Amino acid sequence: MSILVFIDAADGHVKKSSFEALTYGAQLAKQLGTSAEAVLLGTVSDDVAALGKYGVTKIHQVSSDTLAHVDAQVYAKAIADVATANAASVIVLSHNLTGKAVAPRLSARLKAGLVAGAVGLPDTSNGFVVKKGVFSSKAFAFISVNTPVKILSISPNSFQTIAGEGTAEVVAANITVETPKVKVTSTNMVTGEVPLSEADIVVSGGRGLKGPENWGMVEELAKLLGAATACSRPVADEHWRPHHEHVGQTGGSIAPNLYIAIGISGAIQHLAGVNRSKVIVVINKDPEAPFFKAADYGIVGDAFEIVPKMIQEVKKLKGVA
C-alpha cells in the first residue's frame, strides 16, 4: 500500500494547506509501513525538493502550461494517471476549493471510496476507518472505506504540520495531460489583501457594526495583525462588504489560528463556517449573544470602544505610532 499526496499550488507557490496534507500522508505511510510520495501539477518558484522535509520521499512533477489554471477534470485525470502508474492505494488532498472540486472526480475515475473532510489519521487496526465532522462539525462520523484505492481530503487545520530534515527526489511524471474543455479567457484577482482561505488570522464584522462606514477600524486592526477580513451574511447581503468575505454555512468555510468576531451574534449558520478556528475571540455588547458559547475569549462591550483600544494596544506592542 503506497500513499500519494496532491500538492496544491497557486501563483507559483505551494499552498500552506499542502504542508498539512504532506505531513498527513507521511504519517499515514509510517503507520502502514510504506512510503509517501507526492504529485505536483504545473511549475512553482518554490524549492520542490525541499518539500521532502514533510516526510515524502519522491515528488512526481507534471510540468505543462495547460496546468497553470486549475481545471478539476484535467487535474483529476492527471492525478489518477500518476496514482495508477505508481500503484498508489491512498490518495491524500487538502479539503480546500481545489480538493473539493478534484477529489470527487478522482473518486469516480478510480472507483475509489472518498472521505471528504477527514480530521484524523485512519484507524487501520481492523480495516480502514476515517473520522470526519458532520452536521457543521457538531458531530463526528467514522467512515469505513473498503475499496482497493482510497481517497482522503484533509480538513484544514485538523492536523499538525511537522517539518523535519531531508529532501525529496523530484521526477518528471510521464503522463499525457488532457486538453481542458473550459477555456479561461480572463482572471480577475483580488489583490493587496491576505486571502481569506489561507489566512492565519481573520478579523470579522457583523451587523453590530451598523454600516459600511464603520469598517475602517476592522480593516485597521486586520492590517496591523496581518489578517484577512471577513463578515457575516447579512453584511454581505446589504453590500456593506463584498460577498467573497461572507463566511458561514452559505459562504466560505475557514479554519484560521485566530478568529476575531466583532458585533456578530454567532448564529449556527455563521458558526458552521468558522467553528474550526483554533482560537475564537468574540466582542459583543450582549452578554447573552450565542457566540460567547463558542468563544475561547469573550469581551462584553461596545465594539466602538473596544476595537480602537485593541488597535492602540497592538500598535504599542508593534512599536508603531
Ligand X SMILES: Cc1cc2nc3c(=O)[nH]c(=O)nc-3n(C[C@H](O)[C@H](O)[C@H](O)COP(=O)(O)OP(=O)(O)OC[C@H]3O[C@@H](n4cnc5c(N)ncnc54)[C@H](O)[C@@H]3O)c2cc1C
| Residues contributing to the site for ligand X (CB under 6 A) | 206-208, 232-235, 248-251, 263-265, 267, 269-270, 273, 283-286, 289, 302-304
Pair type for strands 9-10 and 13-14: antiparallel
SS3 180: coil
- Measured from the CB of residue 235, what is the shortest distance to ligand X in angstroms? 6
**CB neighbour burial string for 306-316, b if at least 16 within 10 angstroms, e if fewer:** bbeebbeeeee
Least distance between ligand X and beta carbon 285 (Å): 4
Task: Give the nearest distance from C-beta 100 to ligand X in angstroms.
Answer: 16
Complex with ligand X: residue 45 or 250, whichever CB lies closer: 250
In the complex, what is the shortest distance from the CB of residue 94 to ligand X, in angstroms, rounded to a whole number? 21
Give 66 or 249: the residue with its C-beta nearer to ligand X.
Answer: 249
Nearer to ligand X, 243 or 278 (CB): 243
Q: How far is the CB of 2 from ligand X (least distance, A)?
A: 39
295 Rama class: left (phi>0) / alpha (psi -120 to 50) / beta: beta
Judged by beta carbon, residue 211 or residue 226, the one nearer ligand X is 211
Of 50 and 300, CB closest to ligand X: 300
- What's the full length of the chain, in residues? 321
**Closest alpha carbon to 5 in 262, 27, 206, 165:** 27
CB of 298 to ligand X, least distance (A): 11
First-to-last C-alpha distance (Å) of the chain:
58
Exposure of 133 by Cβ count < 10 A (0-12 exposed, 13-18 middle, 19+ buried)? middle
8 A C-beta contact, residue 197 and residue 190: no
Q: Which is nearer to ligand X, 286 or 313 (CB)?
A: 286
Determine the Cα–Cα distance for residues 110 and 149; give it in Å rounded to an integer.
7
- List of E strands, 65-200: 88-94, 113-118, 129-134, 139-144, 150-154, 169-172
